Amino acid sequence: MSFLRKQESIFYKMKEDMKLTKILFLVITIGISSCTTTKTVTVTNNLDIERSFETIEISKENLGLKNSDDLSLYVIEDQNGSESIVQREDTNGDGSKDIILFQPLVKPNSSTRYTVKKIPFAELPAREIICYSRFVPERTDDYAWENDKVAFRVYGPTAQKMVENSIEGGTLSSGVDCWLKRVEYPIINKWYKKHSEKTGTYHKDTGEGLDNYHVGTSRGCGGIAAKVDSSYYISKNYTNYKIITTGPIRTQFSLEYADWDAAGNQVKESRIITLDKGNQLSKFEISLANINQISVGLTLHNNDGLITKNKKNGWISYWEHLDDSELGTAVIIPSPNHIIRFDTYLSKTNETKNQYLEIKVTNNKIVYYAGFGWKKAKNIQTNKQWEKYLNNFSLRLKSPLQVHIN
């Protein structure tokens, strides 16, 4: 073979080897990519009830991803390939999404598989913010929050000073107000705009609901108090707030309170409040100092409704007639063994008539859920349905969904 023919043969052999190397490299890369960006999540329900609207949190660590990875491009699909609604969170403030939230649907005593995978940015769907909260300067300084079922608000320091300085329009209360909505879309901005522009009032129902739930100095729906001897002591309005997140699945924020007096004892208090999609109840995580037990209350208004106390499942409920409809409010705690006592406190004024659930403060913290079901919203029509909802909620707290990641 001539020298040129020999060189040509070597060249073509090298070319074919390079093609083979490229193919092998591509196969290996795809294989690695598939292993590191696609995971199977199995969610198991050990109860005899269907589970929905329970939020699962999956972190980068759970998925075996690096700290440098970002969950912004990750989606979750069900067994049929349909994309689930998700919310991605940056929990440590480093600019990278490290938690992905979703709400599985799991039938009684069964498991459902989901797939977590990475997709191109252009394929990410836009999601409406359903779970929403914000500071409301146009109505003094309320802080309001909502999901697709319920809405609430609390009152700020300016509203407190107005009362203390005898200025009309203020509110002095650390109770929790209920906004009775009967639509699934957000109403907070719409109702406040109507109020500030004087085009209407959220105290009148024009088809979306209304605020006809009076709080005053009562505990409203889930406010707290300290009982000393036979008297109850309460904080004033919140002093500061911080929005943690809003989105299609969850809103979360924190509230700070000035130290408050309980018969000479200065109580320190701060709150983190969370409301997830599809839930009637907000989660309250309250940090406390200088107190060993606390009472969580529901206002009884005229005290002409039905009070129910369920120690086994850890809840209190009040079902009442409210104008031309009916309303159920409730407080439920995850650990019924932390209950100290139930106390129905009746005074001469409606604003201080409350049903209390007194619980232990453990490691300077208490956790409970509080919320309501309104008959006009149609998903809860009777007290019997309301109590069933609370019992099922208690079961879910005691038996969380089991999550396994492959």
Averaged over 207-232, what is the pLDDT?
A: 96
C-alpha–C-alpha distance, residues 16 and 136, integer Å: 69
The distance from CA 315 to its chain's CA centroid, rounded to whole angstroms, is: 18
Mean pLDDT for all residues in the chain? 91
pLDDT, residue 37, reads 65
C-alpha–C-alpha distance, residues 219 and 375, integer Å: 22
- pLDDT of residue 193 exceeding 50, the answer is yes
Question: With left for phi above 0 and alpha for psi between -120 and 50, is residue 283 left, alpha or beta?
Answer: beta
Q: Is the pTM of this model over 0.85?
A: yes
Architecture of domain 132-402: Distorted Sandwich (2.70)
The distance from CA 200 to its chain's CA centroid, rounded to whole angstroms, is: 30
Q: How far is CA 10 from CA 1, 2, 106, in A?
A: 12, 12, 62
Averaged over 221-243, what is the pLDDT?
A: 96
Is the CATH code 3.40.50.620 the one for domain 37-125?
A: no
DSSP 80: T
| Token pair belonging to 64 | 């075996």
pLDDT, residue 170, reads 95
DSSP 135: E
- Evaluate whether 325 touches 342 at the Cβ level (below 8 Å): no
- Cβ partners under 8 Å of residue 99, min gap 6: 57, 58, 59, 60, 71, 88, 89, 90, 91
- pLDDT of residue 81 exceeding 70, the answer is yes
| Token pair belonging to 240 | 């500061």
pLDDT digits (tens, 9 = 90+) for 154-184: 999 999 999 999 999 999 999 999 999 999 9
- Evaluate whether 103 touches 53 at the Cβ level (below 8 Å): yes
Within 278-314, strands assigned E span 281-289, 293-299, 306-310
Averaged over 328-341, what is the pLDDT?
A: 97
C-alpha–C-alpha distance, residues 255 and 143, integer Å: 9
- pLDDT of residue 140 exceeding 60, the answer is yes
pLDDT band at 69 (very low <50, low <70, confident <90, very high): confident
Averaged over 289-300, what is the pLDDT?
A: 97
pLDDT, residue 32, reads 33
pLDDT, residue 29, reads 31
- pLDDT of residue 22 exceeding 50, the answer is no
- pLDDT of residue 273 exceeding 70, the answer is yes
| Residue boundaries of the structural domains of the chain | 37-125, 132-402
Q: How far is CA 262 from CA 132, 254, 346, 368, 376, in A?
A: 33, 23, 19, 21, 39
Higher confidence at residue 26 or residue 338?
A: 338
C-alpha–C-alpha distance, residues 173 and 238, integer Å: 9
Q: Which amino acid type is present at position 401?
A: L
- pLDDT of residue 5 exceeding 90, the answer is no
Strand order of the sheet with strand 250-262?
238-245, 250-262, 265-276, 281-289, 365-374, 325-332, 315-322, 306-310
